[in-house]
């Protein structure tokens, strides 16, 4: 009778098996990454989440039944192998496993829709269609280990600095900023929308006296453009802090970015290597460039842009060529920024808004906010929006709203800068773009 599965317990992950364990009996579990049958000897590369371990089966040394079963294995099947660790300088990790028992836990169909050994390059669409297989590639799962490390680092950093994690609704009645970037949904007998930003809620938390809050959650943007930097659902790392200025929260953002990069370089050495990424800890303070200087600079590079216009893609690209690494753009025109952004006291045509850029990529937008009710009503109207539809939000400003500032950092865009990837789709497990709603 077959031993029950419960008696087959994994003793080690591949990464834990090392030459010091010479002679030890172990049990590993995973997928058959590769099978090489040389007649008298069979090599099976077993892959688990952490890497590879080589199973070496010389026909003369092992049970003939076991040898036959190894020979019958198919790629990407799930197996458990018991065996003896043997030092082997040529094998991955300097060890191989001489098998004493094998259990086939699940056979994989053949042929595979794509090759997890990365020998054959697949197009992004093929990869996303069979994402579960694509994610078995060590260099692809590495992206998500880096993302997980980054998000953990961000949480620890914000918690240490006194920020409270909050969860705000993603089913909302009206737009954050007006505009067309909203996904309408049916909410019983009414129309509602998927939240495009926690902006109005995190500001409301300032009036609620929470002082410093953060949220890491999905935002939904019904943007139709098909670029390498936009998706329709992304994770936004948002913060808001009372009695803080734009300068204060830029300082928080800069420190958070440096901390996350430090943690990724320290904890994801293997993953960065798999991605061929030489991640450097940036120097602080990040350079700050005034919007007007940005316009002059891009114009000097042949991009025609007037003062007061938003940066075009060509302008971002020109900036990417002029700048190395992370930098802030400050002094944005009040006109092109959302209503909740505070205008400069002396030069009201300029605002307290900033963007954090990495070369040609915007990764965060933030600002000191308007906290005076009357100013806010005025600004909502001047944007062509109806203050009545912001009634509940506006009420929070009538009964003691402190001055405050905050930012939203795109987790995927930030991850692109950590991994060196240039297609945002690669940094999301199951990306949502204009054409893709499955898997």
List residues binding ligand ATP (CB under 6 A): 221, 223, 230-231, 234, 236, 362-365, 408, 410, 412-413, 424
Interatomic CA distance for residues 204 and 369, integer angstroms: 12
Least separation in angstroms between residue 351's CB and Mg ion is: 13
Closest to ligand ATP by CB, 32 vs 197, is: 197
Nearest 10 degrees: CA dihedral of 172, 177, 434, 321? Answer: -140
- Our CB check for ligand ATP shows the closer of 58 and 218 to be 218
Of the two residues 271 and 355, which places its CB atom closer to ligand ATP in the complex? 355
- Measured from the CB atom, the residue of 225 and 273 that comes closer to ligand ATP is 225
Which range in 124-132, 183-191, 363-371, 424-432 contacts Mg ion by CB under 5 A? 363-371
Contact yes or no for 357/251 (Cβ under 8 A): no
Backbone angles phi, psi at 40, to 5 degrees: -85, -10
Q: Measuring CA to CA, which residue among 198, 208, 201, 212 is closest to residue 248? A: 212
CA distance 330 to 155: 26
For residue 408, the partner it binds in ligand ATP, Mg ion, none, with Cβ less than 5 to 8 A by kind, is ligand ATP
> Out of Mg ion, ligand ATP, none, which partner does residue 154 contact, by CB within 5 to 8 A per kind?
none
In angstroms, what is the minimal distance from the CB of 367 to ligand ATP?
A: 10
With contact defined as beta carbons under 8 Å apart, do 342 and 370 qualify?
Answer: yes
CB of 199 to ligand ATP, least distance (A): 9
Which of 14, 364 has the CB closer to ligand ATP?
364
- Cα–Cα separations (whole angstroms), residue 85 to 26, 54, 56, 80: 7, 10, 10, 15
Residue 412 interacts with which of ligand ATP, Mg ion, none, CB < 5 to 8 Å by class: ligand ATP
**Calpha distance 14→29 (Å, rounded):** 9
DSSP E strands: which ranges in 261-352?
287-290, 326-330
Output the DSSP codes for 361-374: EEEEEEEEBP--HH
CB atoms within 10 A of CB 21: 16
Give the shortest CB-201-to-Mg ion separation in angstroms: 18
Using the rule CB under 5 A, give the single segment among 12-20, 114-122, 215-223, 364-372 that binds Mg ion: 364-372
Tokens of 63: 């049970």
State the virtual CA torsion across 375, 377, 378, 384 in degrees, nearest 10.
Answer: 150
Number of residues that bind Mg ion (CB under 5 A): 1
Kindly tell me which of 31 and 291 has the beta carbon lying closer to Mg ion: 291
Closest approach of Cβ 438 to ligand ATP, in Å?
Answer: 19
Q: 352 contacts which partner out of ligand ATP, Mg ion, none, CB within 5 to 8 A by kind?
A: none
Residue closer to Mg ion (CB basis): 365 or 419: 365
What is the helix (H) or strand (E) element at residue 410, kind and residue range?
Answer: strand 404-410
User: Is residue 259 at the binding interface for Mg ion, with CB under 5 A as the rule?
Assistant: no
Residues numbered 13 to 72 that lie near Mg ion (CB under 5 A) are: none
Tokens 């999905």, located at residue: 218
326 within 8 A of 362, measured Cβ to Cβ: no
Smallest distance from Mg ion to CB 82, Å? 55
Output the residue with the shortest Cβ distance to Mg ion. 365
Q: Segment near Mg ion (CB under 5 A), from 77-85, 212-220, 253-261, 362-370?
A: 362-370
CB of 223 to ligand ATP, least distance (A): 5
Of Mg ion, ligand ATP, none, which one sits near residue 223, judging by CB under 5 to 8 A according to partner kind? Answer: ligand ATP
Distance CA 433, CA 19 (A): 47
Tokens (6 digits) for 127: 């990869």
CB of 234 to Mg ion, least distance (A): 12
Nearer to ligand ATP, 62 or 357 (CB): 357
Say how far apart CA 157 and CA 177 lie, in whole Å: 29
Q: Closest distance between ligand ATP and the C-beta of residue 122, in Å?
A: 24
Q: Quick one: DSSP state of residue 163?
A: -
Run of H or E residues at 49: none
The one among 153, 259, 365, 427 contacting Mg ion by CB under 5 A? 365
**Minimum distance from residue 137 beta carbon to Mg ion (Å):** 32
Nearest to 353 by CA among 364, 339, 342: 342
Binding site for Mg ion (CB under 5 A): 365
């Amino acid at each position: 009778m077959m031993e029950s599965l419960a008696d087959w317990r994994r003793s080690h992950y591949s990464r834990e098996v090392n030459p010091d364990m010479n002679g030890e009996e172990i049990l590993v579990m995973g997928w058959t990454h590769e099978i090489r049958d040389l007649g008298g000897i069979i090599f099976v590369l077993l892959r688990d989440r952490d890497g590879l371990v080589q199973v070496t089966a010389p026909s003369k040394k092992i049970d003939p039944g076991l040898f036959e079963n190894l020979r019958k294995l198919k790629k990407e099947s799930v197996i458990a192998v018991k065996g003896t660790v043997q030092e082997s300088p040529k094998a991955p990790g300097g060890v191989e496993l001489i098998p004493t028992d094998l259990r086939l836990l699940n056979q994989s169909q053949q042929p595979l829709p794509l090759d997890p050994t990365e020998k054959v390059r697949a197009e992004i669409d093929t990869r996303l269609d069979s994402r579960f297989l694509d994610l078995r590639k060590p260099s692809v799962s590495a992206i998500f280990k880096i993302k997980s490390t980054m998000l953990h680092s961000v949480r620890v950093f914000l918690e240490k600095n006194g920020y409270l994690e909050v969860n705000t609704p993603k089913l909302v009645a009206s737009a954050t900023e007006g505009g067309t970037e909203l996904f309408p949904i049916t909410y019983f007998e009414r129309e509602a929308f998927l939240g495009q930003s926690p902006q109005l809620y995190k500001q409301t938390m300032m009036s609620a006296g929470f002082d410093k809050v953060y949220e890491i959650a999905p935002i939904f943007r019904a943007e139709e453009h098909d670029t390498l930097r936009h998706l329709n659902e992304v994770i936004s790392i948002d913060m808001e802090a009372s009695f803080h200025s734009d300068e204060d929260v830029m300082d928080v953002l800069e420190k958070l970015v440096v901390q996350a990069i430090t943690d990724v370089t320290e904890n994801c050495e293997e993953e960065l290597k798999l991605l061929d990424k030489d991640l450097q800890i940036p120097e602080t303070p990040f350079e700050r460039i005034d919007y007007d200087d940005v316009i002059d600079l891009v114009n000097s590079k042949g991009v025609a842009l007037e003062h007061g216009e938003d940066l075009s893609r060509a302008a971002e690209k020109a900036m990417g060529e002029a700048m190395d690494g992370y930098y802030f753009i400050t002094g944005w025109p009040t006109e092109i920024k959302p209503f909740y952004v505070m205008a400069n006291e002396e030069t009201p045509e300029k605002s307290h808004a900033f963007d954090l850029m990495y070369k040609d990529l915007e990764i965060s937008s933030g600002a000191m906010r308007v906290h005076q009710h009357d100013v806010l009503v005025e600004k909502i109207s001047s944007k062509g929006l109806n203050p009545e539809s912001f009634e509940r939000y506006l009420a929070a400003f009538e009964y003691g709203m402190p001055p405050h500032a905050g930012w939203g950092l795109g987790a995927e865009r930030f991850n692109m800068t950590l991994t060196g990837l240039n297609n945002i789709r690669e940094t999301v497990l199951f990306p949502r773009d204009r054409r893709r709603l499955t898997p």
